Structure 1
Amino acid sequence: MFYLAFFYPVYLGIFPNTFLNNHIIVIGIYGPLALFTTIIVFGVGFPILRSAYISLRDHRLTVDVLISLSAIVTYGYSITSLAFLGRQFLFFDVATTIIVIAIVSNQIRAKYKRRAVRELTGRLRNAETTVYRLTDEGETETIAAEECEEGDLFLVRPGEHIPLDGTIVDGQGTVNEALITGEARPQRKRPGDDVIGGSVAIDGAFEIQVGENATSTLDQLRDLVWNLQADQTNAERLTNRVISAYTVFVCGLAVVTFAAWLALGETGDSAFLTALTVLIIACPVSLSLVTPLAIGRGLSTAADRGIPILDQTVLERITDADTIVFDKTGTLTTGEMHVADVETSEAADEVLQRAAAVESRSSHPIAAAIRAHVTEPTQSTDFERHRYGVTATIDRETTAVGSPALLDELEWDCPPSIEESILHIRERGDLPTVVGWNGEATGVIALSDTPRKRWEDVVESLSAENRRIVMITGDDPRVAQQFEDHPAIDEVFADISPEGKEEIIQDLKKKGTVAMVGDGTNDAPALTAADLGVAMVSGSDFTVTVADALVTTDDLLPFVDLFEIARKTRRRLVENLTLAFLTPIIGLPLAAIGAVTPIVAAILMSAGTILVLANSYRPIMSQDSA
């Protein structure tokens, strides 16, 4: 306010020269203003100056370089004029405005980053990492990771996250440690190997002993969320290249302007002021806000719509997806399976108990449904995962549970009565799960699933945008017939193992860009293989880190919204970029011919920043609140 009360009357010639040249005014007013400006430029503005220094040291031209140059040159001109030349027209207010606008803009940019991850962090604060601890009796109990102590044993099923650091005591399989180590290739793990909390057991079940000072999955997830903005988007990289070229152009224009005015016979002071005006009006504060605010607005809108994004480049990549792959169980259906019937020549209870025992280390919805149907499962050992199911030892007998194709894989017999039961179950649209022991199928468990609400609206909407819709399922083709008959679904792959899903994704990628939507736990390899993976999770389940985005609602509509959010975010980027360049395009020619003063240039520079901020705060989607 003091700048306004003193400098602007000076600019307007309201104060007489005798008043301004008074030693009391010089010492009592100019002196404190110079000191205050020094504190603002070099104290408050230190982060910007430091960033500019580091950029120059690394031979990079960034936004902070041009901001620092404009502020320091303006400040230096004012100090020199006051101390040595006795001039009355000083521009401490302009130097202060440049720094304050830049600092405020940085704060707003940081605020948008916080808003972008607010949905995730809010859930994480209420989330806990679940551990299936093994008791001395060999049973499992569900507890929070914080309750585990060093030396405790816990169980990890295929597809689940390893909740804590530890050492494998029993079991072997592959583990994906990409989230923590950055190593994309899954690692084969055996008893005695160490595992990291937050990594994913792709196949194989493990008994793991808690290590010393163990880190939990939740800790890794928090790191993932807070580093959401770590990787630059293509738009940010492009903006940085534009700013680099822009900085060279503006500095060159300032030098040319100074030389031209000298050549035209103007004084050095007048030529310098004109060149200084060019630097001020071209100060790229608004350019630094273009991408972060647009991307941040898109991320926060997606989170509010129920599809939090774990990789901000999703908003760029999703619009390129020309093939959308849906898993069936848990994606196009609810995945909440239940046992509908048991057909067997033996006692139904024994078939269910044996099946529950074999499936005790599986995280698949089918396994969960069978376990939920049995109160006291039989004890089992020697688990082995196969392409189409699982085997384990019960009472010294090998027991198999899986799809009917497991019988062919193991070369076991299938009695005609069982074959007939499988046929009947498939004909009524249920899923047959075969149970057998001693080399022969003994019974069939029929499981039912429910299609997810409005799944047809989702595939129809995506198909209308000329995207190829594909469904993959491990179920029999007759079980998948309901989906295959839908006109919006172009192709259905049925009776596919988890490994086969990954192979199909790799084949589809040869023809275009593939986005996959699936169960984040059971479809982890396929989601990882896709160009863009979206996982269906419950509202509080944040154990999925192989996906690029999560659908946290009970329907798939947020996935459709993601495409619209991405398109409108890209449009907002273009709008912001246009507004950021509007002031320089209009103001630079005026500044170069001396038609505006430094203070007017500062006002125009601030106006450009305000325009970008105002545009960024507008809702991206209807009913989207700021």
Structure 2
Amino acid sequence: MTDAPLPDTAHTTFVIDGMHCGACTGRVERALAAEPGVVSAAANLMARSARVEFTAPATPASLAAALERAGYPVSTAEARLDIEGMTCASCAGRVERALTATPGVISAAVNLATQSATVGYAQGTVAPSELAQVVTAAGYPARVQAQGAAPAPVADRQAAETARLKRAVLISAVLTAPVFILAMGAHMIPGFHHWIARTIGEPASWWIQFVLTALVLAFPGRIFLRLGIPALLRGAPEMNSLVAMGALAAFLYSAVVVLAPGLVPPQSREVYFEAAAVIVTLILLGRWLEARAKGRAGEAISRLVGLRPATARVERASGVVELPVEELAPGDIVLLAPGERVAVDGEVTEGHGWIDESMLTGEPVPVEKTPGAKITGGTVNGQSALSFRVTATGADTVLSRIIALVAEAQGGKLPVQALVDKITRVFVPTVMGLSLLTFAIWMLAGQGFTHALIAAISVMIIACPCAMGLATPVSILVGTGRGAELGLLFRRGDALQRLAEIEIVAFDKTGTLTEGRPALTDLIPAAPGFAPDELLGMAAGAEARSEHPLAQALLAAAADRGVTPAPARRVKALPGRGLSAEVGGRAVLLGNTRAMTEAGVETALLAPAAQALAGEGKTPIWLAVDGQLAALLAVSDPLKKYAHDAVAALQYDGVEVALISGDTRATAQAVGRELGILRVVAEVLPEGKVDAVRDLHARGAVAFVGDGINDAPALAAADVGIAIGTGTDVAIEAAEVVLMQGDPQGVARAYALSRATMRNIKQNLFWAFAYNTALIPVAMGVLVPFGGPGLSPMLAAGAMAFSSVFVVTNALRLRRAGG
């Protein structure tokens, strides 16, 4: 569970487009953590963002400045606000102070003359509409000017990045193709070298390659130079530095051969323009494929965001008006047409219909809605017209909270990621050292400058740590997104890893494995003179005005069977026993054994059946008519439809299942027997559930499954707390995993998904580490003395790009997991 935040802490999220690998995220986190007042900092490579929790003296502006100094400037946006009511410089000062005190705001300039404010803020931290609300709350009504529209969401930024990379790849490929053909044609086509010599000549060929490669580096490849060289000069090289150094080394050496051949010995006058151009093209290709895959990986949030309609029809005194959803306020009455998507959370005020809530729960069966029922934004209305009163808007809606939870979990770091971060922190400098060592060894071995340079470049290119940096976050991204589709919300990414390590799952009983409400399970007539429906009608009639849960069970059973409760009068409650009434002119007594004994009603005929029912965890209820035993009824809390399947699935996976309940021992043990649960702890208060969880913890890691409210202490005490519920009733703050549907099978699905995600992460890490471990020595040339191959910069670039694409593609397999 998360620790309670420190007093007076604030948090903000910066969008940082300059992060490209695991080494980048480590440097971003260290730059932020070094600032006084920062409590925690977590960078998210997939979302290109960093979340910071801080206290004074840190401010969003100081944090943004720290990131700027580290070479990772935050993405900023600007909003313009129209403000009413400012009459003097003091008013403008108050507005400015209110804005600058808002987390995420970097600068604010208020213009008293034009009654406006220009606000610079870190993209992703706050929305222009929220800035307007801050000013309004300060006493000066404000609204966003049209040109101050909100910046593009993450999904749109990813799409834009993918399109930009695609253009860069196409341009680079067009410029690189002639270079590659001129340089490598002789190796692939017999006589091609002689044809070049007879036509344009070798010097012209080199000049063409020089110009085209310079264009590749100056335009599509300048991203590597723009990011990599400054990082190198700061003493914090990263993957862009490796690419920049490798491509520049090949290009500059070749340029010297073309422009000043006298500086190079005759035997070393070879050009390697194709290496520089192909390196850039292949790595851009890898990044484009990676961006496409990451876009698909992030589709979960994009789909959730897409569930929100843009407008809604609202009742006003003057009639029905169509308003943007952002302008809805609690209390508004919204008209919902058949087939329309619900705009925001609300409560039905008029109409009767069915709403598809599968986007929340994963359950395809629509849910009945009548006046008073809660409905959730993003769900889809059926064939009936409804009206509802808005109860929550903006960030307070269930859908917004789900989106925020998924986004936070996708940006989380698993414990296994700590090892990766430590390695990537030293990996790039180590590789550059190995590259220099490779160059020195081959020079000392007398292989010449050219051979040594090629080997050194190959080492730099092959070792880019993209695959290592992506191995964990991309799997978290896809895994948590898949969970959201299945109605499984991981509040934190590290819950994925801990849930996969669980050895014991402890279930609460009531409302988790059972329906949480009593239901009539048995009705046994004592004599053939009464029909079951007649007896049920008498019992329901006698209980019609009672609020006791057992009475509600009898009334619900009568309604389900279409039995009308018989009219009753002279109803008298018998505390601790039951009740008596006159039903249809007959004396009816309904209650426990004590009530029957005191009334002189003989129950011996059905006593064995009553004992058997009690042994099954059911509550026997006797019914006597005119002083004679008429029937034995039994009420219990029935098991949920798939409770047995959920327990069986966990046990099949080797997980021990336990039952912890505050109910009577007989009832709890009966439920345990029915479900095949051997370890049952009963008759415990909420505090006792905590002790039970701790006792189980001595046997292994424990997950506790409860309703998330009454079971909050046990949820907090467990290694992983899992809240099970439906719709708006889920206790999002009580657990690390929230099941949006009431089906306990969600626990088994969440466990299976977490295991699949961890397996996927381990596969990715194995590939990333094995790839570098195996190919760096090959690039250094350790096999060459034994007649083995070396590794050219082109092949190294291709292999490096493939490794990143492989990791992302492997993670995408999780989109089919847990179904």
Q: TM-score range by the shorter chain?
A: 0.5 to 0.7
| Equivalent in the alignment of 1:599 | 794
Q: Secondary structure at the match of 1:452?
A: coil
| Equivalent in the alignment of 2:407 | 226
Change (3 A) 1:291 1:330: same
Alignment of 1:587-626 (within 5 A): 587-593=775-781, 595-618=790-813
Q: Secondary structure at the match of 1:316?
A: helix
Q: Please report how far the alpha carbon of residue 53 of structure 1 lies from its aligned counterpart in structure 2 after TM superposition.
A: 6.1
Which string of whole-angstrom CA distances, capped at 9 and with x for unpartnered residues, describes residues 78-129 of structure 1?
A: 145326446642133234135414533652563365145567667x748xxx
Partner Cα separation in structure 1 for residue 551 and residue 260 of structure 2: 86
| 8 Å contact from structure 1 (residues 528, 547) kept in 2 | yes
Q: Secondary structure at the match of 2:490?
A: coil
Q: Please report how far the alpha carbon of residue 41 of structure 1 lies from its aligned counterpart in structure 2 after TM superposition.
A: 2.6
| Equivalent in the alignment of 2:443 | 262
Q: In the alignment, does 2:281 pair up with 1:97?
A: yes
Match for 1:580 among 762, 765, 768?
Answer: 768
Match for 1:69 among 239, 242, 245?
Answer: 242
Match for 2:509 among 328, 335, 343?
Answer: 328
Which string of whole-angstrom CA distances, capped at 9 and with x for unpartnered residues, describes residues 494-544 of structure 1?
A: 333344434433454455321012223443343233211222233676663
Q: Please report how far the alpha carbon of residue 271 of structure 1 lies from its aligned counterpart in structure 2 after TM superposition.
A: 1.8
Q: Please report how far the alpha carbon of residue 316 of structure 1 lies from its aligned counterpart in structure 2 after TM superposition.
A: 1.5
| Equivalent in the alignment of 1:158 | none
Which string of whole-angstrom CA distances, capped at 9 and with x for unpartnered residues, describes residues 205-240 of structure 1?
A: xxxxx9999955654443222222222112322222
Match for 1:556 among 740, 744, 753?
Answer: 744
Change (3 A) 1:117 1:42: same
Q: Please report how far the alpha carbon of residue 547 of structure 1 lies from its aligned counterpart in structure 2 after TM superposition.
A: 2.5
Match for 1:39 among 212, 219, 227?
Answer: 219
Q: TM-score, normalised by structure 2?
A: 0.50
Q: Please report how far the alpha carbon of residue 564 of structure 1 lies from its aligned counterpart in structure 2 after TM superposition.
A: 3.5
Match for 1:480 among 664, 668, 675?
Answer: 668
Q: TM-score, normalised by structure 1?
A: 0.63
Q: Secondary structure at the match of 1:326?
A: strand
After superposing the two structures, state which structure 1 stretch, 73-82 or 335-344, moved more: 335-344
| 8 Å contact from structure 1 (residues 67, 99) kept in 2 | no
Q: Secondary structure at the match of 2:412?
A: coil
Identity of aligned residues (%): 26
Change (3 A) 1:53 1:333: farther
| 8 Å contact from structure 2 (residues 283, 797) kept in 1 | no
Partner Cα separation in structure 1 for residue 396 and residue 749 of structure 2: 35
| 8 Å contact from structure 2 (residues 483, 490) kept in 1 | yes
Which string of whole-angstrom CA distances, capped at 9 and with x for unpartnered residues, describes residues 380-402 of structure 1?
A: xxxxxxxxxxxxxxxxxxxxx99
Alignment of 1:295-306 (within 5 A): 295-306=476-487
| Equivalent in the alignment of 1:82 | 255
Q: Please report how far the alpha carbon of residue 332 of structure 1 lies from its aligned counterpart in structure 2 after TM superposition.
A: 1.1
Match for 1:513 among 697, 701, 713?
Answer: 701
Q: In the alignment, does 2:601 pair up with 1:420?
A: no
Q: Please report how far the alpha carbon of residue 69 of structure 1 lies from its aligned counterpart in structure 2 after TM superposition.
A: 1.9
| 8 Å contact from structure 1 (residues 318, 532) kept in 2 | yes
Change (3 A) 1:349 1:56: farther
| 8 Å contact from structure 1 (residues 119, 303) kept in 2 | no
* Larger relative contact order, structure 1 or 2 (CA cutoff 8 Å, min sep 6): 1
Match for 1:111 among 295, 302, 305?
Answer: 295
Q: In structure 2, what residue type is equivalent to 1:603?
A: G
Change (3 A) 1:574 1:428: closer
Partner Cα separation in structure 2 for residue 215 and residue 543 of structure 1: 14
Change (3 A) 1:526 1:117: farther
Alignment of 1:174-573 (within 5 A): 215=396, 218-335=399-516, 337=518, 348=543, 351-352=546-547, 420=594, 429-430=617-618, 448-463=636-651, 467-486=655-674, 488-509=676-697, 511-538=699-726, 544-553=732-741, 555-573=743-761
Partner Cα separation in structure 2 for residue 469 and residue 604 of structure 1: 46
| 8 Å contact from structure 1 (residues 342, 348) kept in 2 | no
Partner Cα separation in structure 2 for residue 618 and residue 460 of structure 1: 26
Which string of whole-angstrom CA distances, capped at 9 and with x for unpartnered residues, describes residues 452-471 of structure 1?
A: 23423433443455544221
Change (3 A) 1:50 1:214: same
Partner Cα separation in structure 2 for residue 31 and residue 69 of structure 1: 23
Change (3 A) 1:276 1:105: same
Alignment of 1:113-192 (within 5 A): 113-115=297-299, 117=301, 125=308, 149=330
Partner Cα separation in structure 2 for residue 34 and residue 531 of structure 1: 57
Which string of whole-angstrom CA distances, capped at 9 and with x for unpartnered residues, describes residues 400-453 of structure 1?
A: x99x9xxxxxxxxxxxx87836999967744699xxxxxxxxxxx996422123
Change (3 A) 1:597 1:217: closer
| 8 Å contact from structure 2 (residues 286, 805) kept in 1 | no
| Equivalent in the alignment of 1:380 | none
| 8 Å contact from structure 2 (residues 406, 480) kept in 1 | no
Change (3 A) 1:474 1:343: farther
Q: In structure 1, what residue type is equivalent to 2:707?
A: D
Q: 5+ unaligned residues in a row in structure 1: which ranges?
A: 127-143, 152-162, 165-209, 357-365, 374-400, 405-416, 434-444
After superposing the two structures, state which structure 1 stretch, 474-483 or 293-302, moved more: 293-302
Q: Secondary structure at the match of 1:311?
A: coil
| 8 Å contact from structure 1 (residues 568, 620) kept in 2 | no
Q: Which has the larger radius of gyration?
A: 2
Q: Secondary structure at the match of 2:491?
A: coil
Change (3 A) 1:257 1:609: same
User: Pairwise CA RMSD of aligned residues?
Assistant: 5.2
Partner Cα separation in structure 1 for residue 183 and residue 768 of structure 2: 31
Q: Please report how far the alpha carbon of residue 326 of structure 1 lies from its aligned counterpart in structure 2 after TM superposition.
A: 0.5
| Equivalent in the alignment of 2:177 | 4
Partner Cα separation in structure 1 for residue 752 and residue 808 of structure 2: 22
Q: Secondary structure at the match of 1:470?
A: strand
Q: Secondary structure at the match of 2:667?
A: coil
Partner Cα separation in structure 2 for residue 146 and residue 477 of structure 1: 54
Q: 5+ unaligned residues in a row in structure 2: which ranges?
A: 1-172, 187-191, 262-269, 310-324, 333-343, 346-390, 522-535, 558-574, 579-590, 597-609, 622-632, 785-789
| 8 Å contact from structure 2 (residues 409, 480) kept in 1 | no
Partner Cα separation in structure 2 for residue 231 and residue 500 of structure 1: 32
Q: Number of aligned pairs? A: 491
